[in-house]
Amino acid sequence: MKKSGSDLRSQVGQLIIFGFEGTEFTPELCNRLSVMQPGGIILFKRNLVSPQQTHALLRESQKAVATPMFRCVDMEGGLVDRLKDMIAPVVSTSQVAATKVKKLYREHGRLLGEEVRALGFNVDFAPVMDLGLESSSKVLASRTVSASAKETIVYAKELLEGLKDQHVLGSGKHFPGLGGSSLDSHVDLPIVERSWKQLWAEDLLPFRQLKSKMPFVMVAHCAYPAVTKDKTPASISKKWMTDILRKKIGYRGIILSDDLDMGGVLAATSIEEAATTCIRAGADSFLVCQKEDSVTRAYEAVLHEAERDRRFRELVKKAARRIVAYKKRSPELKRKMAPVPDDKCIDKLRRKNWEFTEEVRLATNRGLAM
């Protein structure tokens, strides 16, 4: 019985990717990782001091977990650039996309991938595949490619390939699309009043076309009443994750609910309910990024529900098997961490960053001159 309980605990752990406070590998963090055995961790600016410190934090965290972890970061360039103070600012998605030079899209992915891989990460939550519609322009700003689904597909495909070239897993986000939203899901629950026909033909087109290219699909805290007939966030919606993404679109990768500590989902439910509901709805994994107490509450809620409910336990086991199987066949997860980045390595990355920025600037100027 003890062994099966232990197995269930590790299976629940595989479903969680969590964030934490601090910049050092503390006994408290070691204990949390050892007990929970999470599927992954995610670092933010609050965790990052230097390339060497970041690498050490990831390396020591991995040692505390028996299976390879998803070592994650949000690294898009522009507004979402966790490494700019340690290396150099990377140009934004919209700047690169505006060049209309396909080769630069892939180079953008390679640059992002090379930077995150050098510091010890193996997952970059990019690209943004939301459409750059007028309604979301103030919220998403330079994070989007354009209002065109076809242009978004071209860029996202190349960026994902660029990340893959550097042995980094990417993630399409934020399914089914925040382009029609005017609110920030970090704070509020956005409601997109677009018809199913619009969503299927436009917002969902990048996810449909690139379904075999995305290791992860990150699901948004956003409501789509025309589809669900209520204000349930997609991140805890069976209609969106199981019926549409898994079955209708045919996505076979890892379905990941966005950070359950965000206002967009907590406006609708508690952290405990969000964690159990997203698994019931079809998520394989979920993020809890802000409060360490929320990590514990989410983990314990899923564990207790799995112990209580046989059907839920089977969903947990199925999701854990999918994640473990993905890790076993993923070349990115099999690779050893890059060596500790020295000053020469960082200088090289800064040089590549500068050269790429110049390429984008020159391509933009040529386009303007035409």
Check: pTM over 0.85? Answer yes or no. yes
**How confident is the model at residue 190, as a pLDDT?**
87
Q: Which residues pair with 75 in a beta bridge?
A: 81
- Is 221 tagged catalytic? no
**Would the pLDDT of 110 be above 70?**
yes
Q: Which residues pair with 40 in a beta bridge?
A: 17, 70
C-beta atoms surrounding 350 within 10 Å: 14
Pick the catalytic residue from 74, 124, 258, 284.
258
Q: Are 139 and 352 in contact (CB under 8 A)?
A: no
Q: Are 258 and 283 in contact (CB under 8 A)?
A: no
Q: Cis before residue 174, ω within 30 degrees of 0? A: yes
The model's pLDDT over 177-222, given as tens digits with 9 standing for 90+, comes to 999 987 777 778 889 999 999 999 999 999 999 999 999 999 999 9
Burial class of 226 by CB neighbour count within 10 A (0 to 12, 13 to 18, 19+): middle
Residue 67 CA: distances (Å) to CA of 16, 57, 211, 215, 326:
13, 17, 26, 18, 12
User: What CATH architecture does domain 15-30+37-347 belong to?
Assistant: Alpha-Beta Barrel (3.20)
Helix and strand tally (H, E) in the chain? 17, 10
- Is 186 tagged catalytic? yes
Domain segments of the chain: what residues? 15-30+37-347
Pick the catalytic residue from 165, 167, 184, 186.
186
Q: Are 15 and 40 in contact (CB under 8 A)?
A: no
Dig out the tokens for 233 from the structure. 């966030």
The model's pLDDT over 257-296, given as tens digits with 9 standing for 90+, comes to 999 998 878 877 899 999 999 999 999 999 999 999 999 9
The model's pLDDT over 229-266, given as tens digits with 9 standing for 90+, comes to 999 999 999 999 999 999 999 999 999 999 999 887 88
Q: Are 231 and 189 in contact (CB under 8 A)?
A: yes
Give the angle subtended at the CA of 236 by the CAs of 230 and 242, to the nearest 5°.
95
Residue 225 CA: distances (Å) to CA of 45, 155, 194, 360:
35, 29, 8, 40
